[in-house]
Amino acid sequence: MKNTIKGLTLVMLAGTLLFACNDDTTTPSATAPSSLTYEPSSISTEEGVAVMSEAPSVDGTTPITYTITTSPDAGSDITIDKNSGIISASAATIGTFMVTVTATNEAGSKEFADALTIEVKAKAKITFKADIQPAIANSCKPCHVAGGGNTTYTEFAKASAGVDGILNRVNRDEGTAGFMPLNGTKLDAATLALIDQWKTDGLLEE
């Protein structure tokens, strides 16, 4: 009887030791975010033209979430997708903005100062000499160029004074009364927008 009990004790002890060995595994510890970079590290756009960065390259245990601050403060004009790290700029405010990104995971947070530079340039103004005069010379000949017999819209004073009439005529349906260019085809959307923007910008000569 004593021998039997001793045998059972040994078996139980061995089982306990075996169980302890099988459970002796370690989970790798999480690594905090590090080495965050954007490629390219700077992007530029024009006023009113939205732009987005690429997703950042970053080391660290996933998932990682992201927040930003900007200098100067761009408010809601510059935002970041908290999961992807992609930065978006609405380009509503002109200026150069330095974007600092904070990356966070279960191991902690890391701030990456000036991780991305965003430059929003002023939208180029439309001028008569650079944009409108060439368009009129190309699309409104022979009637509205020098010697054409009608108002010479290749002259700044006449074109700027008559801009409302020009816009009215060129935006009519092709073939209708008063449509311009006479007996021609409707100006393309880009040229129509160019004339409209010239008026919006203040009818600049150059």
Would you call 90 helix, strand, or coil by DSSP?
coil
Compute the distance between CA of residue 99 and CA of residue 74 in angstroms, rounded to an integer.
10
pTM over 0.85: no
* pLDDT at position 98: 98
Longest dimension (CA), the chain: 130
Beta-bridge mates of residue 109? 104
Q: What does each C-alpha distance from 34 to 2, 23, 98, 105 come to in angstroms?
A: 63, 32, 19, 11
User: Per-block average pLDDT, block size 10, for the chain (206 residues)?
Assistant: 45 45 62 97 95 98 98 97 98 97 98 98 92 90 86 93 94 91 89 93 93
* pLDDT at position 153: 92
* pLDDT at position 155: 94
Q: How many CB atoms lie within 10 A of CB 46?
A: 14
Compute the distance between CA of residue 102 and CA of residue 54 in angstroms, rounded to an integer.
16
* Domains defined along the chain, listed by start: 34-121 (2.60.40.10), 128-200 (no CATH)
Q: How many CB atoms lie within 10 A of CB 138?
A: 11
* pLDDT at position 27: 55
Confirm if 86 and 53 have CB atoms less than 8 A apart: yes
Q: What does each C-alpha distance from 164 to 60, 129, 186, 198, 200 come to in angstroms?
A: 60, 18, 17, 11, 12
Compute the distance between CA of residue 31 and CA of residue 105 in angstroms, rounded to an integer.
8
Compute the distance between CA of residue 33 and CA of residue 108 in angstroms, rounded to an integer.
7
* pLDDT at position 130: 94
Compute the distance between CA of residue 170 and CA of residue 167 in angstroms, rounded to an integer.
5
